[in-house]
Amino acid sequence: MKVAIFVHCFFPEHFYGTETYTLDLAINLQKLGHEPIIVSARFSGEPKTDNVITYYEYDGLPVYCIDKNYIPNTRIKDTYYQPEIGQLLRQLLVDIQPDIVHVTHLINHTAILLEVINELQIPTVATLTDFYGFCFNNKLEAADGSLCLGPNRQRTNCLACLLKARSSFSTATLAERYVGQYPQSLITAKALNLLIKIPGFQRGVIAGTVLDVTCRPDLLSYYYRYYRAVIAPTVFLRKAYVRNGLTAPIYDIKFGIDLPILTISTRPINAPIRFGFIGQMTVHKGVDILVDAFCRLPYGAAELYLFGSEKQDPDYSLNLHKKANGYSVKFCGTFPKEEMLKIFSNLDFLVIPSRWYENSPLVLLNSLASHTPVIVSDVEGMTEFVEEGKNGYTFKMGDVQELEQIMQKIIQNPETSLKMSQTTEYPRTTKIMTQEVIKVYQDVLQSCV
């Protein structure tokens, strides 16, 4: 079976959750006798290549990469529906001649990919990895920082998120910074939605921007109908998409993890507890919440190791350094995937203090698979993997005090807490995951006969 897998970006430059899922899936498909071909993209603004499409191999997998520097976004609509890239995608698909297409993310390819696939009558499935299909910022985070359920009827909450995003640009004017703050952002969003209904204000840049944002959920919902099946890695993600109008058949297939079997080691009870964080050093990941809670702990009773790039948000990372100054906090940078097990073997607890809905983050599953208990924000997408007191703890999202109390409890009862490593596991492998995905392919292809 020849499978064209479309992903927004890929290794070696990009190596986060969706890219890793795509890589694991493709490697296992190849091992199981199938022919995966990856179609990725290079973001506009990244170093430009000599050709609009480049070909390379990664881990023995064929990869086509579209350079979006040649086809940059000129308006918001281009981020989710860009007809200009359609002919390029059509030619790639004609050349590849796949039996089935698997989309792991639409960013860069946009919904025009689904339009082209439908015209070529190629059966297509998707794996939902975030909220791109209906949420403007992909995170289901409202303009006031609270968790969101999705676009409201007038889409004014989506407009408010746009205003918030633009206020953070380095080029933002004082007016843009002002209206980007809540509640001004929501008030302005409602005003803009009314303004474009007045004759004389229905054309122009402002009206076009408002329409680009407010039409986004409906347009994506329309094209998502072309999926013959959709894979959801968490119950929460499935519910969120159904609540926001997804009608395609949904298969619940959790991610798989491949880690060598780790012998659970013992360590001195009186040694400092080692807490860790692995991920992006950004606001929505909540690293500051963890640092604040840690710095309240008795000095010398614990250590905190932060793994992640500080380049994504240098100002945020600088603030973390200031908070952590004088405490047992170590900024460790990134590490190759091959060292994952070694990293976890040196941690007692992994902390995931996210401010947004995580979707079965692979770092969480890797932690469980390495017998490392977790402490996570009580947001859906993570809590369904945590059994309180058995393989981890949960705390109220954003609550520094509650996180501190959990960490204090661990420090005060090290023997009880460290025994949790014996009841922490995640036996599901990427091969099992891929075999279930292949069953989806077979169901879809059979339905097309």
Read off the pLDDT of residues 244-254 as tens digits, 9 standing for 90 and up: 999 999 999 99
Say how far apart CA 147 and CA 143 lie, in whole Å: 9
Q: Is residue 149 part of a domain?
A: no
Q: Is residue 296 part of a domain?
A: yes
Q: Do residues 303 and 374 both lie within one domain?
A: yes
Report the number of distinct structural domains present in the chain: 3
Q: Are strands 53-58 and 61-67 parallel, antiparallel or unpaired?
A: antiparallel
Read off the pLDDT of residues 338-368 as tens digits, 9 standing for 90 and up: 899 999 999 999 999 998 888 778 899 999 9
Q: Do residues 45 and 66 both lie within one domain?
A: yes
Q: Do residues 97 and 225 both lie within one domain?
A: yes
Asked if residues 347 and 335 have their Cβ atoms less than 8 Å apart, the reply is no
Closest CA to 349 of 284, 282, 433, 293: 293
Q: Do residues 53 and 75 both lie within one domain?
A: yes
Say how far apart CA 256 and CA 260 lie, in whole Å: 13
Q: Do residues 247 and 311 both lie within one domain?
A: no
Q: Is residue 285 part of a domain?
A: yes
pLDDT average, residue stretch 320-335: 96
Read off the pLDDT of residues 187-222 as tens digits, 9 standing for 90 and up: 999 999 998 888 877 788 889 999 999 999 999 999
Q: Do residues 299 and 321 both lie within one domain?
A: yes
Query: Considering just the CA atoms, what is the radius of gyration of the chain in Å?
Result: 23
Read off the pLDDT of residues 233-273 as tens digits, 9 standing for 90 and up: 999 999 999 999 999 999 999 999 998 766 666 677 788 99
Q: Is residue 263 part of a domain?
A: no
| Tokens standing for residue 206 | 């402002």
> What is the identity of the amino acid at 179?
V
Residue 386 sits in a domain whose CATH number is: 3.40.50.2000
Q: Do residues 95 and 19 both lie within one domain?
A: yes
Q: Do residues 37 and 114 both lie within one domain?
A: yes
Q: Name the residue with tokens 């676009």.
A: 151
Closest CA to 113 of 94, 86, 146: 86
Q: What is the dihedral of CA 435, 437, 441, 443, to 10 degrees?
A: 80
Q: Is residue 242 part of a domain?
A: yes
Q: Which domain holds residue 318?
A: 273-423
Q: Do residues 441 and 401 both lie within one domain?
A: no
pLDDT average, residue stretch 89-115: 98
N-terminal to C-terminal alpha carbon distance within the chain: 15
| Tokens standing for residue 117 | 């696939």
Q: Do residues 190 and 121 both lie within one domain?
A: no
Burial of 112 (0-12, 13-18, 19+ CB in 10 A): buried
**Neighbouring C-alpha atoms within 13 Å toward the C-beta of 342:** 5
Q: Do residues 88 and 57 both lie within one domain?
A: yes
Q: Name the residue with tokens 């975030």.
A: 130
Q: Is residue 78 part of a domain?
A: yes
Q: Do residues 239 and 190 both lie within one domain?
A: no
